[in-house]
Structure 1
């Protein structure tokens, strides 16, 4: 497939996602399509055709910027509807028990901002969350993960996340990974209007001790680290 055809395909899909309310996926597709179209235009010898392409590119950039503003607005605005304080060594706080009720069939997209994904237990926590997502969110189509790059073992991190991506895509869920080394926020945005903010992100469980004991796979039996959980909703939330 030529660069121009690839760009066209990406941008058509971006418009479709935009129209269907899948704004996270639309934003990614717009960005990728614009990049490919810019690459094609840079080699276009005809001035008139190049100007035409640049006009279209600006239109797509404006659409992508509008989506970015919508996403930022959803993340920044809203009100707290539930608060939970988890004390040191508490048990009974599996992800499903804390926020599973907000992850519904109307959740078609999820944004996960989790800075730290470098250790085995951190990948296990992510998988546990994703298992809950594919179980509760039957119409889930797209997940975007934003995390920091593992400075000590970037290849292993990419391999691990690549395996997760491949598995989700076999389940017809697109998985986009973005690395931001300045990331500090820990929050999860659900496209049905709920935002989950956890002080420690996904990683508030203590190690199973001894390893082969109750709580190894069922997190409601795991002891926790102290943290706070807030559930936010914006005006567009739907149950």
Structure 2
């Protein structure tokens, strides 16, 4: 492994761990834990590559410190879930970037996740249907074995009604070819927006899946990569089911 590669890995580790500390300081513990784990793995890769003993000692010390903090957060999160006190809030500011579905939902996706429920009244127009498709693609790429997705939305009564039906049917067929069943139900009274994972997590987004701004054009930056697409201001509230047992 060349020195340039080692320097590049170290730079990535520093960036990820800096983000972990920022999230930790903001009490966004679940997200910070994911970043700590990613950063620690990068530092372990650097440790394997360096030959200098003093540098090895330096990296071992850093890794030890970050691992201790990650373990403290893990214990804190588990205790909060068991006591039914877990609640994390993420505020997405106007024009903020870096909030693709992968980034937003990754901290709450585990191998135990097999079923997802999406309640969102606005999966009707073409860009909203594309958002839902992107969300489904994210689940298929994630380290879990999702077998069923339940969608509760409102029926488009306007000119786009046939488009909504056609697109949802196509998504259903496509998911089926990947071993995932999509069950779509319609409600004329649905208002709230939330996503429930059967591993215990509930994510409520003020704007539902439609929190991205319209791209300037089909060939503008952010059209394909949602991490680069500016967001509309919204709030994300994350709970664990034990927090809602009395409901």
TM-score category, normalised to shorter length: 0.5 to 0.7
Moved more, 183-192 or 91-100: 91-100
Equivalent residue in structure 2 for 1:96, among 99, 102, 113: 102
1:126 and 1:91 mapped to 2: Cα distance?
Answer: 19
Distance 1:119 1:89, change over 3 A: same
Give the direction of change, closer, same or farther, for the CA distance of 1:184–1:137 in structure 2 (3 Å limit).
farther
How far the C-alpha of 1:79 sits from its partner, in A, is: 4.5
Where does 1:1-239 land on structure 2 (aligned, <5 Å)?
Answer: 79-152=85-158, 153-235=160-242
**Alpha-carbon distance, 1:165 to partner:** 0.4
Contact 1:79 1:234 in 2 (8 A): no
Matched-pair contact (CA < 8 Å) for 2:213–2:231: yes
Unaligned 5+ segments in structure 2 are: 1-83
Tell me if the contact between 1:102 and 1:194 (Cα under 8 Å) persists in the aligned partners. Answer: yes
Report the secondary structure of 1:235's partner residue. Answer: helix
Corresponding residue pairs, total: 160
Q: Which moved more, 1:132-141 or 1:192-201?
A: 132-141
List alignment gaps of at least 5 residues for structure 1. Answer: 1-77
| Counterparts of 1:216 and 1:146, CA distance in 2 | 26
Q: Distance in 1 between matches of 2:115 and 2:171?
A: 16
CA distance in 1, matches of 2:120, 2:85: 22
Give the Å deviation of 1:203. 0.3
Give how far 1:80 is off. Answer: 4.2
* Distance in 1, Cα, partners of 2:168 & 2:129: 8
Aligned counterparts of 1:189 and 1:160: Cα–Cα separation in 2? 23
Q: RMSD across aligned C-alpha pairs, in angstroms?
A: 1.8
TM superposition shift of 1:98: 1.5
In the alignment, is the contact (CA less than 8 A) between 1:105 and 1:140 conserved in 2? no
Task: Provide the rounded CA distance (Å) in 1 between the counterparts of 2:189 and 2:143.
Answer: 30
CA contact (8 A) 1:105 1:137 kept: yes
State how far apart, in whole Å, the 2-side matches of 1:132 and 1:222 are. Answer: 16
Query: What TM-score, normalized by structure 1, do the two folds share?
Result: 0.63
Question: Counterpart of 2:14?
Answer: none
User: Counterparts of 2:169 and 2:85 in 1: how far apart (Å)?
Assistant: 35
Cα distance in 2 for residues equivalent to 1:187 and 1:115: 10
Q: Is the 8 A contact 1:85 1:227 kept in 2?
A: yes
